[in-house]
Chains A and B, each alone.
Chain A
Amino acid sequence: MTTVRSSSFMTGKMPTWCPGCGDFGIWTSLKDALAGLGISGDDGVCVYGVGCHGNMYNWMKIYGFAGLHGRTLPVAQAIKLVNHELPVICISGDGDGLGEGGNHFIHAAKRNPDITVIIHDNQVYGLTTGQASPSAKKGFVTKSTPEGVTDAPINPLALALTAGATFVARGFSGDTQGLTELLKRAIQHKGFSLVDVLQPCVTFDKVHTYMWYRERVYYLDTSHDASDKVKAFEKAYEWGDKIPLGVFYEEDRPTAEELEPALKCGPLAKQPIDSSCFDALLEEFI
Chain B
Amino acid sequence: MMSSVTWKIGGEAGFGIMSSGTMLAKTFSRQGYKTLATNEYPSLIRGGHNVITVRIAVEEFYSLRKDVHILATLNKQTVDLHKDELNDDGILLFDPADFDWKPEHFSRHVVCIPIPLKEMVRVKSVDPVMRNTIVLGASVALLGGVFENLKTVIADQFQKKGEKVIAYNAELAWMGFDHIKKTAGDVRHFYLKNAEKREDQLILNASEALGLGAVRAGMKFSAIYPMTPINSVITFLADHAKELGIVYKQPEDEIAGMNMAIGAAYAGIRSMVATSGGGFALMVEALSLAGMQEIPVVIDLGMRVGPATGMPTWTESGELRFVIHAGHGEFPRIVLAPGSCEECFRLTIHAFHLAEKYQIPVFILTDKYLNESQWCVPKSMFTKPVSIDRGKVVKEEELTPGQMFKRYRLDVEDGVSPRSFPGMKGGIYFNNSYEHDEFGLVTEDPDMRKRMVDKRLRKFQAIQKDIMSPQVFGDDNADITFVTWGSTTGPVREAMTMLEHQGMHTRCIQYFWLYPFPSEETKSLLAKGGRIIDVEQNATAQLAGLIREYTGIDIQEKIVKYNGRPFFPEEIIERL
Contacts and interface: CB of A to CB of B under 8 A. Distances in A.
Contact of A79 (B267, B285, B440): B267
A81 B221 contact: yes
Contacts of B215: 275, 278, 281
Interface stretch (A82-90, A153-161, A172-180, A225-233): A82-90
A42 B424 contact: yes
A104 interface: yes
A67 interface: yes
B200 A286 contact: yes
Nearest to A106: B252
B260 interface: yes
Interface string A256-286: 0000111101001101011101110110011
B13 interface: no
Given A13-B441, A71-B255, A79-B267, A42 B428 contact: yes
A64 B216 contact: no
A285 B431 contact: no
A63 interface: yes
> Main SS of chain B's interface residues?
mixed
Contacts of B249: 77-78, 81
B285 A68 contact: yes
A127 B215 CA distance: 43
Given A62-B428, A66-B430, A262-B247, A285 B203 contact: yes
B422 A81 contact: no
A261 B26 CA distance: 32
Given A66-B434, A262-B247, A83 B242 contact: no
A276 B452 CA distance: 41
Contact of A75 (B262, B268, B426): B262
A61 B404 contact: yes
A269 B423 contact: yes
A275 B214 CA distance: 11
Interface string B10-49: 0000000000000000100010000000000000000000
B256 A282 contact: no
Given A71-B259, A79-B267, A262-B245, A103 B428 contact: no
B255 A74 contact: yes
Nearest to B381: A282
A260 B244 CA distance: 12
Given A42-B425, A43-B423, A268-B221, A75 B212 contact: no
Given A43-B423, A79-B422, A83-B267, A286 B30 contact: yes
A153 B240 CA distance: 44
A47 B262 CA distance: 12
B264 A82 contact: yes
Nearest to A40: B425
Contacts of B256: 71, 73-74, 103-104, 107
Contacts of A68: 259, 285-286, 289, 433
Interface in B237-259: 240-247, 249, 251-253, 255-257, 259
B421 interface: yes
Interface residues of A, number: 54
A86 to B, nearest CB: 5
Contacts of B253: 103
B267 A271 contact: no
Contacts of B246: 262, 268
Interface in B167-224: 200-204, 208, 212, 215-216, 218, 220-221, 223
B501 to A, nearest CB: 32
Contacts of B262: 67, 75, 78
Nearest to B208: A285
Given A261-B241, A262-B241, A64 B255 contact: no
A140 interface: no
Interface in B410-433: 421-433
Given A58-B442, A77-B260, A286-B201, A278 B428 contact: no
Contacts of A63: 422-423, 427-429
B: contact size bracket: 35 or more
B432 A66 contact: yes
A279 B216 CA distance: 11
Given A71-B286, A103-B252, A260 B430 contact: no
A71 to B, nearest CB: 5
Contacts of A77: 249, 260, 263
Nearest to A264: B245
Contacts of B386: 275
Contacts of A45: 267, 422
B259 A74 contact: yes
Nearest to A8: B402
Nearest to B262: A75
B178 to A, nearest CB: 27
Interface in A141-162: none
A265 B424 CA distance: 20
A45 B429 CA distance: 10
A106 B432 CA distance: 25
B202 A78 contact: no
Contacts of B208: 285
Given A67-B289, A74-B259, A285-B204, A79 B428 contact: no
Contacts of A73: 256
Contact of B440 (A64, A74, A285): A64
B259 A82 contact: no
B401 interface: yes
Interface string B254-297: 01110111111011110100000000000001100100010000
A243 B39 CA distance: 61
Contacts of A79: 263-264, 266-267, 422
B388 interface: yes
A50 interface: yes
A273 B388 contact: yes
A278 B216 contact: yes
Interface in A161-176: none
A72 to B, nearest CB: 9
Interface of B: 26, 30, 200-204, 208, 212, 215-216, 218, 220-221, 223, 240-247, 249, 251-253, 255-257, 259-264, 266-269, 271, 285-286, 289, 293, 379, 382-383, 386, 388, 401, 404, 421-434, 440-442
Given A71-B286, A269-B269, 17 more contacts: A42-B401, A42-B424, A43-B423, A57-B432, A58-B430, A64-B429, A64-B431, A67-B433, A75-B266, A78-B259, A78-B262, A262-B246, A268-B246, A273-B220, A282-B212, A286-B26, A286-B201
Interface of A: 11, 13, 41-43, 45, 47, 50, 55, 57-58, 61-68, 71, 73-79, 81-83, 85-86, 103-104, 106-107, 260-263, 265, 268-269, 271, 273-275, 277-279, 281-282, 285-286
8 contacts: A45-B267, A64-B431, A66-B440, A78-B261, A79-B264, A79-B422, A82-B269, A271-B245
For the complex of A and B, 9 pairs with smallest distance between CB atoms:
A78-B263, A273-B218, A75-B263, A82-B267, A74-B259, A285-B202, A107-B252, A74-B256, A78-B260
